[in-house]
Structures are given as C-alpha cells and as structure tokens.
Amino acid sequence: MIAVRFRKPWPIVAGILVATLVNHTIAGAVGNWVRSVVPPGVLQWLEEDNVGQSSRLGVFAVTTVAFFLAEMGDKTQIATAVLAARFESLPTVVVGTTLGMLIADVPVVFAGRLAADRIPFKAVRIAAAALFAALGVWVLFAGVPG
C-alpha cells in the first residue's frame, strides 16, 4: 500500500532495507544470546519446529517505521532469531535474511507503483474501517474464541 500511495519505489526499498536490517539484527542478537544460554540439545529441538502523502514524514521514514513495526514478531524475525541461535556469524544471518526479504518485497513495491492508478483508496479505507469496527463489535459481544 505504501508503494501504491507514494509511487516512489526507491525510498520505499531503502526504508524496507533499513527496517529489515534493524529488525533482523535485533532478532539475531536475541538468537545469539539464546545460543549462549540454552543447551545445544534444546536448540536442535527448536530448529525442527521453526524451520502518506499527507504525512510530515517522508516516504523513506514512513516505510521504515511501518515496515519495522509490521515485522515485529513476524515469522521472518523468528526465523532470523532461530538461524542466529544455530549459526555463530550474526552478520551473515542478518545479511542473508535481509536479502531474502528484499528479494520478496522489491518486486511487489514496483508492481504496486504500476497498480496505483487502479486502486480506489477511499473505498479501501472505508472497507478496512468497516471491517475493523465489525471485528471490534464482535469481540466486545462474543469475546475472543478459545
């Protein structure tokens, strides 16, 4: 959505890069710490289970903050922590997981730029707000399942 809204792919890609590097470095540092305090047998067991335009901020800052927050606790962050717990070279793990993220995201950024004129933003915002409100009302009355 950021690519569609701002239509400036290079600052968006740079924001994704910075956010991913910071996020994965933090996750990798946690993984390295886990490797230092958890016995190797336990680590082996864990590995088997986890194989806007109206903004005052620029496109780069919006992308960096949004992408960083979206990645918190995401499977790529968890995978980075697990890989860093398994392998000693934190820089290699961070570079590898960051490159993987960029390989997945950069084509989408450029595709979003191409689709920008075809997406009705007002309708998307209204639908998202209605869905969010409906889910909130449902949780208030029905509670959280489980």
pLDDT in tens, 5-53: 788 889 989 999 999 999 889 888 888 887 788 777 665 654 544 334 4
pLDDT of residue 49: 42
**In the chain, what are the domain boundaries?**
2-119
Query: What average pLDDT does range 125-134 have in this prediction?
Result: 92
- For residues 73-107, one letter each, b for 16 or more C-beta atoms within 10 angstroms of the residue's C-beta and e for the rest, the string is eeebbebbbbbbbbeeebeebbeebbeebeeebbe
Residue 74: both structure tokens together: 């995401």
Q: What is the pTM of this model?
A: 0.60
Please state, in angstroms and rounded to a whole number, the distance separating the CA atoms of residues 16 and 109. 10
pLDDT of residue 71: 82
pLDDT of residue 134: 93
Query: What average pLDDT does range 135-141 have in this prediction?
Result: 89
pLDDT in tens, 52-67: 445 567 888 888 888 8
Q: Cα–Cα–Cα angle for 57, 129, 131, nearest 5°?
A: 135
pLDDT in tens, 94-118: 999 999 999 998 998 888 877 777 8
